[in-house]
A and B are shown apart, each in its own frame.
Chain A
Amino acid sequence: MDANEPEVERRDDVMASNRLQVDSSSGAPAVPLVIGAKESAPAPPTEVVFELLDLNVYYGETLAVRGVNLKIHKNVITAMIGPSGCGKSTIVRTLNRMNDSVSGFRVSGEVNYHGHSIYASGVDPVEVRRRIGMVFQRPNPFPKSIYDNIAWAPRILGLKRDLDARVEQALRGAALWDEVKDRLRSSALGLSGGQQQRLCIARAIAIEPEVLLLDEPASALDPISTASIEDLMQDLKQTYTIVIVTHNMQQAARVAERTAFFSLDDAGDGKRAGVLVEYDETATLFTRPADERTRGYVTGRFG
């Protein structure tokens, strides 16, 4: 996995050629919505990868997410929790422009990636997605062989050199190599759900993205597969910046350094939209939440 390092460097160079706006990392504070939060939680020392500034997301006329300000830090696992429908998936899919194909989808505000707006005109969404990988809730391996599932994206992206080594490295990185090394040519659909999900993680890291977005990656898996994915995340965060959406608060507490709690809120016009309620160190958020709504959610009193 060490071999990934120079690749990440190179990415930054490519992005530089795409420079579209001034650096804005000195903008809003990291925890803008926490009213009266103690200033004790120190910001993680790593650089900011994503910065959301007053982000609103619309589906057609409906406002799904309102006024989110959020910074996501490099090589840190950031969890997003909150009740169903509060816009967690919407936000992660906004981070790699996966929502572009949804008709009526629209954002306002800024989504900055290393200081550059990924929604600026002239930014190629394909290039964005190639650097910001995503793993979905339900394992979605292609109906191809295990090998071809991993090799497909490197092939189309022109990373054809040492493809075998790349496939092996990705599978090792996803802690799947030992289980599948003797059946690389058999169909990926023959794997168990947990193996399929790790295959999807392997597929994502095979193209060496900088960020991995995981939208409830373990919700369709049994506890053992879930544990193996959680272990895996601890390894992966050395190399990748990870954002994980989860409904499982123990999971957030186990894996994430920082946690963002979203909720559905009424803006006064009777229409409910997702808002960021609180964003802090995971330990702080779970033990000493600053907001009443967070406290209610993490202690199991909903509403």
Chain B
Amino acid sequence: MSRRENTALPREVVEIGVVAGGLRRMVDRMGDRVAFGAAALASLAAVALIALVIDRVVSGAMPSISRFGIGFLWQTTWNPSLSSGVRDSNVYGAGVLVYGTVVTSAIALVISVPLGVAIGVYLSLLSSGRLAGVVGPLVELLAAVPSVIVGLWGIVVLAPALHSTIDPALHAALGWLPIFGKPGTTGLGIFDAGVVLAIMVLPILAAITRDLFANVPRELKDGALALGATRWEMIRGVVLDSTRSGIVAATILGLARALGEAIAVTQTIGAGTAIHASLFASGDTLGSRIAEQFIGAVSKLQIASLFYCALILLVMEFLASIGAQLIAGRSVRVRGAVI
């Protein structure tokens, strides 16, 4: 290993070694280049794809943008009727849909964030190995259930159940708040869609926070316990505290999922056409409206307006994703190796 041993070897052996080493280095360097090229190409392709999508959506939305302008965001008329006798025929605005999108996503997060964090804590810190080995994969299986099936279950099981239990209970307890109005007659509405979305977001939050908490260094947890903290105090003061920004980032990822979901919402939201104060009333979301109407659209302006909805949704999703990255990046900088 030392230099002296090296020179003691026959010269040919040393030279072969040098040549072989040189060759290997060359191959390595080429491999490096190929890998770099492939990675760069793949990233470029992804960027190009995004650009193509944005271009298509924007150009598709153009007629509606030039017709309705920014007011499209809050105008609540959506009338595809073409007969000239009808008031506001062929006039579109996404106000109802933007409201529905925001509110259903908010309901989804209010339910799924505490529940998801609780599951994450349980799986990473509290459960014994065997139980976590069963529950963990189950949670991930939940993420694999197709949204149309969750939606079906929402129609058949969840909505009727909520309609006869939670809805009246909330109305009775908090009915003075307009959002908990009298439960509707159909049994489908914003609240049902929000709960369905919560079920779909839950596995994302549970899985991400589980990994987040599991990666909090053992030394930190031990440090807290060694100070006479109970397990719960340790979890709150060290685990949750040091992963705060990670939890926020996970929440935003969940939000992105909730904002964009279409099918399961279409199935459970009741296809409403107006903004109601009560969460138990029907409504609609951007994604759901696109899914409902794109195939059967009757006019160019209606198609353009659906593209406009898609553009709004795209911007919302981008903002959420950028927000998640900013927060995650900041947390890495601020908290060093903790996350």
Contacts and interface: CB of A to CB of B under 8 A. Distances in A.
A binds B: yes
Interface of A: 96, 98, 101, 103, 126-127, 129-131, 133-134, 136, 138, 140-144, 152-153, 156-157, 187, 189, 200, 203-204, 207
A156 B229 contact: yes
A94 to B, nearest CB: 13
Contact of B242 (A127, A142, A203, A204): A142
Given A129-B225, A136-B222, A142-B242, A152 B237 contact: yes
Contacts of A152: 224, 227, 237
Contacts of A101: 225
A130 B226 CA distance: 7
Nearest to B230: A126
B241 interface: yes
Given A103-B129, A152-B237, A156-B237, A140 B220 contact: yes
A140 B227 CA distance: 12
A243 B266 CA distance: 66
Most A C-beta atoms less than 10 A away, residue of B217, B223, B229, B238: B223
Top 6 nearest A-B pairs (CB, nearest first) are: A130-B228, A153-B227, A140-B219, A134-B226, A140-B223, A143-B242
Contacts of B129: 103
A141 B224 CA distance: 10
A127 B225 CA distance: 10
Q: What does DSSP make chain B's interface, helix, strand, loop or mixed? A: helix
A133 B227 contact: yes
B338 interface: yes
A127 B226 CA distance: 10
Interface of B: 129, 217, 219-220, 222-230, 233, 237-238, 241-242, 334-336, 338
Contact of B228 (A138, A143, A153, A187): A153
9 contacts: A101-B225, A140-B220, A142-B223, A142-B237, A142-B241, A142-B242, A153-B228, A156-B233, A189-B335
Given A138-B219, A156-B237, A129 B336 contact: no
A101 B224 CA distance: 13
B224 A142 contact: yes
A127 B228 contact: yes
B219 A153 contact: no
Contact of A143 (B226, B229, B230, B338): B338
Contacts of B334: 187
Nearest to A135: B226
Given A142-B241, A189-B336, 18 more contacts: A98-B222, A127-B228, A129-B226, A130-B227, A133-B227, A136-B222, A136-B226, A142-B224, A142-B237, A142-B238, A142-B242, A143-B220, A143-B336, A143-B338, A153-B228, A156-B233, A157-B228, A207-B227
A144 B241 contact: yes
Contacts of A136: 219, 222-223, 226
A203 B237 CA distance: 14
A96 B286 CA distance: 58
Most B C-beta atoms less than 10 A away, residue of A103, A129, A133, A138: A129
A286 B335 CA distance: 44
Contacts of A204: 226-227
B133 to A, nearest CB: 14
Contact of B223 (A157, A200, A207): A200
A127 B228 CA distance: 6
Given A126-B229, A156-B229, A207-B227, A140 B217 contact: yes
A103 B128 CA distance: 9
Nearest to B217: A140
Contacts of B220: 140, 142-143
Contacts of A138: 219
Contacts of B233: 156
A207 B228 CA distance: 9
B285 to A, nearest CB: 38
A211 to B, nearest CB: 12
B260 to A, nearest CB: 33
